[in-house]
Structure 1
Amino acid sequence: MPADDGVPMSTAAAGAEAGYSVQQVRDLEALGVIPVAPRSSSGYRRFSEEHVRHLRAYRHLANSAGPVVARRVMRDLRRLPRAQAVALISGLHAGLNAEREHALSARRALESINDEAVTDAVPVDDDSMTITELSQALGVRASTLRFWEKAGLVAPERVATPAGTARRYTLPAIREARVTSALRAGGYRIPEVQAAITAIRDLGDTSNSLTALDARLDSIAQRTLALLRAGALLAEIIETASAV
């Protein structure tokens, strides 16, 4: 049962209310996540429901944005003007939504490429692009395509030219570049993209990559729910700070 604001709590009691150990409460106070607790005449910390509110808000915020960001946000909320504090929380929601959109874009690209792998398994001579054409089509630099090639993500052919040799991207290489572009936009690291490309090369199977994207979307949904749980608590913290 929540304690009344007027009844001081010990460190252990405040921790029990919010689900933290005594040492965790002390650490979070030292980090500025919660306001500094006043001391009794005998030197013991005396916590209030305001401190418990901060502790609970931090838990949800850490589950959503990670502990580093959550610590910074909790400190900033008590010092920023109301409008800026509200904008800070809005930014977290916007960031999660951007992650979700990137993951959805990557999933759509993989589904499209998977369909192509069935219908266009054998490219014809005209279905190829130069490095300049492909970079323009994907909206990336030619140097990025060369880096992807070096990392084993894209395998263009080499064709003879009067000046020597040039890269030529046939349909398989174009698909690889599209997969790489989609996954990199979705936040995937190079080793994760390499695993996806390997799946694509093995008979065009993208099921593992699609499963990974679904797992990421579920993780984003869980983080969004955690941020929503923190919402009412954070609103009270902002209103209390702006009233001081």
Structure 2
Amino acid sequence: MADVEARLRPIDLARAAGISTQLVRNFADDGILPPTTWTESGHRRFHAGHRQALLTYRALARGFGMDAARGIMLAVHAGDVPQALTLVDAGHASLHEQRGSLRAIGEALEAVAGQAPEALPGPACTSAR
């Protein structure tokens, strides 16, 4: 009885993640979800581990992007934890670099915004004759 309760349908996973059932199947085919077993009638068997992997992928994709999230999930499912952690570290480094760039841009914009318009470099304005 517990085995029957543990089974999830693609629609159950789709609803949990707010995506389509086709996307669930695509994620399963792409290796983003753990391998599935199949029923005799040709349907995939999903369980709570698939739901957790799907929600984990969605969270990783929001933070690191879809490509990095896919790489992390593939490494995890292959049992290559060092590779998964390397990808997470690379994602953190990239985000840190982006934050530094955004901070520098913001500071430059604030400096420019504080200057009088005539003090800013730019093309000379001439009136049409």
- Verify same fold: TM over 0.5: yes
Give the structure 1 partner of residue 127 of structure 2: none
Question: SS of 1:54's equivalent?
Answer: helix
What 5-or-longer segments of structure 1 have no aligned partner? 122-170, 174-197, 202-244
1:160-196 superposed Cα distances (whole Å, 9 cap, x missing partner)? xxxxxxxxxxx726xxxxxxxxxxxxxxxxxxxxxxx
| C-alpha distance in 1 between matches for 2:35 and 2:61 | 20
Give the structure 1 partner of residue 65 of structure 2: 66
Is residue 10–residue 46 contact of structure 1 (8 Å, CA) maintained in 2?
A: yes
Is residue 10–residue 47 contact of structure 1 (8 Å, CA) maintained in 2?
A: yes
C-alpha change, 1:80 and 1:38, in structure 2 (3 Å) is closer
Give the structure 2 partner of residue 36 of structure 1: 35
Of 100-109 and 81-90, more deviation after overlay is shown by 81-90
Residue 18 of structure 2 aligns to which amino acid in structure 1?
G
Question: SS of 2:34's equivalent?
Answer: coil
Percent same amino acid at aligned positions? 31
| C-alpha distance in 2 between matches for 1:72 and 1:39 | 25
Q: Which aligned segments of 4 or more residues in structure 1 are displaced greater than 3 angstroms?
A: none
| C-alpha distance in 2 between matches for 1:97 and 1:45 | 40
C-alpha change, 1:119 and 1:44, in structure 2 (3 Å) is closer
C-alpha change, 1:18 and 1:172, in structure 2 (3 Å) is closer
C-alpha change, 1:94 and 1:43, in structure 2 (3 Å) is same
TM score, norm. by length of structure 1: 0.43
Give the structure 2 partner of residue 118 of structure 1: 116
| C-alpha distance in 2 between matches for 1:49 and 1:55 | 10
Is residue 8–residue 46 contact of structure 1 (8 Å, CA) maintained in 2?
A: yes
Q: Shift of residue 120 of structure 1? A: 8.0
C-alpha change, 1:80 and 1:40, in structure 2 (3 Å) is closer
| C-alpha distance in 1 between matches for 2:109 and 2:65 | 28
TM score, norm. by length of structure 2: 0.75
Q: Shift of residue 28 of structure 1? A: 0.9
Match of 1:172 among 121, 126, 129: 121
Q: Shift of residue 99 of structure 1? A: 0.5
| C-alpha distance in 2 between matches for 1:73 and 1:82 | 9
Give the structure 2 partner of residue 82 of structure 1: 81
CA RMSD between the two structures:
2.9
How do 1:153-164 and structure 2 match up within 5 A?
none
Is residue 14–residue 48 contact of structure 1 (8 Å, CA) maintained in 2?
A: no
1:108-131 superposed Cα distances (whole Å, 9 cap, x missing partner)? 12222333x33982xxxxxxxxxx
Question: SS of 1:172's equivalent?
Answer: coil
Structure number with greater Rg is 1
Question: Greater relative contact order (Cα 8 A, min sep 6): structure 1 or 2?
Answer: 1
Residue 172 of structure 1 aligns to which amino acid in structure 2?
P
Question: SS of 1:68's equivalent?
Answer: helix
Give the structure 1 partner of residue 14 of structure 2: 15
| C-alpha distance in 1 between matches for 2:31 and 2:109 | 44
C-alpha change, 1:44 and 1:105, in structure 2 (3 Å) is same
